[in-house]
Amino acid sequence: MKSSPWLIAAALALVVALPAQAAEKLKVVASFSILGDLVSEVGGDHVEVRTLVGPDGDAHTFEPSPSDAKALGGAAVLVENGLGLEGWLGRLVTVSGFKGETVVASEGVRTIAFKGGDAHGAEEAAHGDEAGHDPSGHDHAAHEGHSHDVDPHAWQNPLNGVLYVRNIVAGLSKADPAHAADYKARGDQLAAALQAVDARFKAEFAAIPEARRKIVTSHDAFGYFADAYGIQFAAPEGVSTESEASAADVAKIIRQIKAENIKALFAENITDPRLLNQIARETGVKIGGALYSDALSSPEGPAPTYLKMFENNGAALLAAMKDG
């Protein structure tokens, strides 16, 4: 008795479909582009990544859409920065009904206080407060606003990036233990590359006279980078882009540039350049280009990955300091 052609086709389709179902990718939502890249680098072909705040986007002022809620509701893993960066995320988690694994990428980072805050705020962020809240990001309800005693831009130190990678490896492995060995191998490779970047920057910035290691940027996003490499950053805006710089803030920066003969002035890819243009006009200092602070560039840009962000920023800063 011969089998009909359609039965054979149906059987073949079933055989083909089974491996495809078995190889279904782990659905991960990352809060912003830097984390999206880290998840993609660690996860490789095993993950499907949805990034909420995309290239050149501002995670401080982002407003989620219904499609973002739908994507998060269907995800197995959420990767966030924590430290109060994503003030909008708690509402999104609630609306989406997300029930998966949450990875706070900054967990374990030694936090610093931003210039307008105090060390007590940083201490609370690192260790939790007496009421039992976890300001690292687990307690979303506690972070509907930004807590800017703590600088949330911890990814700006590549050694903190190593901790981010380790946390992402652990989170993906917990959600998908079948591929844990692959996640670890890819994470180890990325961590080694970040450690190499850090070692190179330590040597290159140390070779620049301290008086030249002074930079003005749009907002206070480079505190961790400054601490790592002995650089002084000044910014007319604070740690968040949500609030505009006051006239007094701008005047103070202008006085500082003139008094300290600062020659390096940089815009950021996420901020409106008009304020920096004003400062440049009033000081005669040219803008040296754009640094990538809170977001990566588009794939066609100079900073499409976390590693290339450091390479781009480091090269630009070193060139400006040497010319200063």
pLDDT at residue 18, as a whole number: 45
Check if the beta carbon of residue 303 is closer than 8 Å to that of residue 297. yes
Of 123, 155, 127, 159, nearest to 59 by C-alpha is 155
Indicate the domain borders of the chain.
12-190, 202-323
Note the Cα 319 to chain centre separation in Å.
24
pLDDT at residue 167, as a whole number: 98
Burial of 221 (0-12, 13-18, 19+ CB in 10 A): buried
- Residues of the chain with confidence (pLDDT) below 50: 7-12, 14-21, 116-147, 238-242
Contacts of residue 162, Cβ cutoff 8 Å, sequence gap at least 6 = 191, 194, 195
- Report the alpha-carbon distance of residue 26 to residue 68 in Å, rounded: 17
pLDDT at residue 289, as a whole number: 77
Of 252, 249, 202, 269, nearest to 59 by C-alpha is 269
Of 265, 271, 278, nearest to 324 by C-alpha is 265
- Report the alpha-carbon distance of residue 114 to residue 221 in Å, rounded: 9
Note the Cα 195 to chain centre separation in Å.
17
Contacts of residue 203, Cβ cutoff 8 Å, sequence gap at least 6 = none
DSSP-derived 3-state class of residue 297: coil
pLDDT at residue 40, as a whole number: 98
pLDDT at residue 238, as a whole number: 46
Which CATH code for domain 12-190? 3.40.50.1980
| Domain 202-323 top-level CATH class | alpha beta
Amino acid code (one letter) for 237 = E
Neighbours of 84 (CB within 10 A): 24
Q: What is the pLDDT of residues 88-144, one digit of tens each?
A: 999 999 999 999 999 999 999 999 987 543 333 333 333 333 323 333 333 343 334
